[in-house]
Amino acid sequence: LYNAGHLYEAAYTHHLATGKRNFLDIALKNADLMVETFGEGPEQIHDVPGHQIIETGLIKLYQQTGKEDYLKLARYFLDNRGNPDNHSPLFGPYSQDHLPVTEQDEVVGHAVRAVYMYAAMTDIAVLMEDDAYAAAVDKLWNNMVSKKIYLTGGIGARHEGEAFGDNYELPNLTAYNETCAAIGSVYWNQRLHRQTGNVEYLDVMERTLYNGLISGLSLDGTQFFYPNALESDGVYKFNQGACTRKDWFDCSCCPTNVIRFIPAMPGLMYAKDDATIYTNLYASSTAEIMLGDQKFTLRQRTGYPWEGKVMLDISPAAETTATLKFRLPSWVRNVPMPGGLYTYLEQEVQAPAIRLNGEVLALEPEAGYFTVSRAWQPGDQVELDFPMPVRKVVADDRVADDRGKIALERGPLVYAMEAADNPGDFDAIKLDPTATFTVAARPDLLGGIHLLTNEKMTAIPYYAWSNRGVGKMKVWLERAASK
């Protein structure tokens, strides 16, 4: 059923991209077999998938065809998890099959299975207007962001079971943080944002994208992390028998998931409703978005994530009254991530700015966005300025592995110390909470990065670590006594 689910998602996307039906028709034929085979009927199999993903695949086929049977089967698979009257024995917490899904309020078990299921639950909450599903998803998300997520956006603390740990169980050296789980989290958070417009879901999505997700891919695109640790001693072979990325895995879900995810990135950048365009992510790009019967062309020019200036050329085909919302990332709003698990040491930060056609707008952020409603004309230009100081982060004291430690960030990027840049006694490095850093552009290093340096240490973006051979790395550093 897991393989069938990915088949459906691939076929849906292939049809969307090419207009061809050859792959889609194969998927529909298989989905019709599933509808015939599984369900409540006396001749049908009463069971649920061990590894979720068919649910979101079926929902995509429903959205493509309008065939209610696909939506009903997805709902059947979800409704009957944790239901011993329908199938027994239950798979248990490992497969989120310990309680009915609407009674689950803690993220548990295999992290990839979990976020795939939560994404499908969010779809059901929206498409079937189900309040019980919506309430459960809200509780699960709040548990994850307040107690079970890494600073990098990674999820899944334990190698055993590729699973979430207990609340506040977030070890660094042995962190699992499967690349597939990061991808699943992005898809779930995008759905939650589309459901509610709540900017906090995008905060989790962006942090995951720039840190715990792309770390799974080497800079040359040929090697992969299955787990994404936040610390390495250069000895512990955390990546399925390796201390660094590998060419391939017997279970190749992470490499192939990255390969399907990267081309889907444009679909994350914007969202819309009837009269509003939401600019959610910042990257040099051009997009064409239909708002009602009017086409808007939005062109972004930016050095993000290295620089906090974004220039947007906004051109409707003709003068059009509409609302455009420009997201202020959580780090601009002085919050690393929603949930309160992480906080910045320094609370004084420079305010972001927005200009329209060269003139500063005296706007207060509203629900995490700068909101501009006006009659837009071809050639309008919006400029955003997000200050990017180096920030020091501390974790909730209940996270034992991070107690008494500090991590570094700049913009959306989490930074790490790697032994390659810090010769000497790497394990003795400590971070003074009052230390200052110089930001240095290094286009010649690691595909082009910005280094953080001072007289004692050098830090690189976390995603770029382990591209220069096996060596030690730390995201969280022991706090030094202030001078």
192 pLDDT tier (thresholds 50, 70, 90): very high
The pLDDT of residue 60: 98
pLDDT digits (tens, 9 = 90+) for 52-109: 999 999 999 999 999 999 999 999 999 999 999 998 899 999 999 999 999 999 999 9
483 pLDDT tier (thresholds 50, 70, 90): low
247 pLDDT tier (thresholds 50, 70, 90): very high
pLDDT digits (tens, 9 = 90+) for 429-454: 999 999 999 999 999 999 999 999 99
273 pLDDT tier (thresholds 50, 70, 90): very high
The pLDDT of residue 482: 66
pLDDT digits (tens, 9 = 90+) for 284-305: 999 999 999 999 999 999 999 9
pTM over the 0.85 mark: yes
Mean pLDDT value of segment 393-410: 98
Decide if pLDDT at 44 tops 90.
Answer: yes
The pLDDT of residue 452: 98
The pLDDT of residue 88: 82
The pLDDT of residue 458: 97
pLDDT digits (tens, 9 = 90+) for 4-29: 999 999 999 999 999 999 999 999 99
pLDDT digits (tens, 9 = 90+) for 449-472: 999 999 999 999 999 999 999 999
pLDDT digits (tens, 9 = 90+) for 124-140: 999 999 999 999 999 99
The pLDDT of residue 481: 81
Mean pLDDT taken over the chain: 96
CA distance 453 to 451: 6
What percentage of the chain carries pLDDT values higher than 70? 100
